[in-house]
Structure 1
Amino acid sequence: MAENLEYINYSCYFTAFREGEQFASYNALSMVISGEMELNGGVHRQVFRSGDVYLVRKNQLIKFLKKPGKETEFKSLSIRFDERLLNQMSTEEHFVVQEKIKTPAFIELPQVSHLRYFMESLLQYQDLLENKSPELALVKQKEALLLLFEYDISFKNILYDISDPYKINLEEFMLRNYHFNVKLDRFAYLTGRSLATFKRDFEKIFGVAPGKWLLQKRLQEARYLLEKGKKASEIYIDLGFEDLSHFSFVFKKQFGLSPSKLLS
Structure 2
Amino acid sequence: MNASEKDKRFPHILYSCYSHKSGEGEQFIADHIFGFIISGESEMYLNGKNYLFKAGDFRFLRRNQLTKYVKLPPVGGEYKSISISMDQNTLRSISEENNVTVDKPYTGENALLLKPNRLFTNYMESLSPYLNGTTEISKGLTSLKVKEAILILLETNPELKNILFDFTEPGKIDLEAYMNEHYRFNVDLNRFAYLTGRSLAGFKRDFDKIFHISPNRWLQQKRLDDAYFLIKEKGLRSSDVYLEVGFKDFSHFSFAFKKAFGISPSRLA
Sort the TM-score into its range (normalised by shorter chain): 0.7 to 0.9
2:146 partner letter:
Q
Q: Measure how far apart 1:24 and its partner are.
A: 0.9
1:1-264 to 2 correspondences below 5 Å: 1=5, 2-15=7-20, 16-19=22-25, 22-112=27-117, 114-126=119-131, 131-232=136-237, 233-263=239-269
SS of 2:244's equivalent? coil
When residues 168 and 42 of structure 1 are mapped into structure 2, their CA distance, relative to the original with a 3 A threshold, is closer
Question: Any unmatched runs of 5+ in structure 2?
Answer: none
Tell me by how many angstroms 1:230 deviates: 4.3
For the aligned residues, what is the CA RMSD? 2.6
**For residues 64 and 92 of structure 1, do their structure 2 counterparts lie closer, same or farther at Cα, with a shift above 3 Å needed?**
same
Identity %: 42
- 1:14-38 CA-to-partner distances (Å, cap 9, x unmatched) read 4413346x21111111112233322
Q: For residues 249 and 182 of structure 2, what CA distance do their matches in structure 1 show?
A: 19
Q: Cα distance 1:217–1:116, how it changes in 2: closer, same or farther (>3 A)?
A: farther
Distance 1:99 1:129, change over 3 A: farther
After alignment, is 46-55 or 205-214 more displaced?
46-55
Q: Deviations over 1:66-92 (max 9, x none)?
A: 344442333221112111111111112
| 129 and 194 in structure 1: CA distance in 2 versus 1, 3 angstrom threshold | farther
> Judging changes above 3 Å, is the alpha-carbon distance between structure 1 residues 217 and 204 closer, same or farther for their aligned structure 2 residues?
same
Quote the offset at 1:106 in angstroms: 2.2
Change (3 A) 1:129 1:197: farther
Would the aligned equivalents of 1:53 and 1:116 in 2 still touch at CA under 8 Å?
no
Deviates more, 1:213-222 or 1:240-249: 240-249
Contact 2:28/2:64 (8 A) holds in 1: yes
Identify which range, 238-247 or 208-217, moves more after superposition: 238-247
Give the gaps of 5 or more residues in structure 1: none
Give me the TM-score of the superposition, normalised by structure 1.
Answer: 0.86
**Deviation digits for residues 112-168 of structure 1 (CA, Å, limit 9, x no counterpart):** 554244323321343799523234323322322222223322100001112211111
Q: Alpha carbons of 1:71 and 1:90: their partners in 2 closer, same or farther (altered >3 Å)?
A: same
Q: CA deviation at 1:6?
A: 0.6
Contact kept, 8 Å, 1:8 with 1:129, in 2: the verdict is no
C-alpha distance in structure 1 between counterparts of 2:99 and 2:119, whole Å: 26
Most deviating of 77-86 and 236-245: 236-245
Per-residue deviation, 1:103: 4.4
SS for the counterpart of 1:51 is coil
Contact 2:44–2:52 (8 Å) recurs in 1: yes
State TM-score, norm by structure 2.
Answer: 0.85
Aligned residues: 262
Whole-Å separation in 2 of the counterparts to 1:128 and 1:137 = 16
Structure 2 CA distance, aligned partners of 1:129 and 1:105?
34
Distance 2:197 2:247 in 1: 25
C-alpha change, 1:46 and 1:159, in structure 2 (3 Å) is same
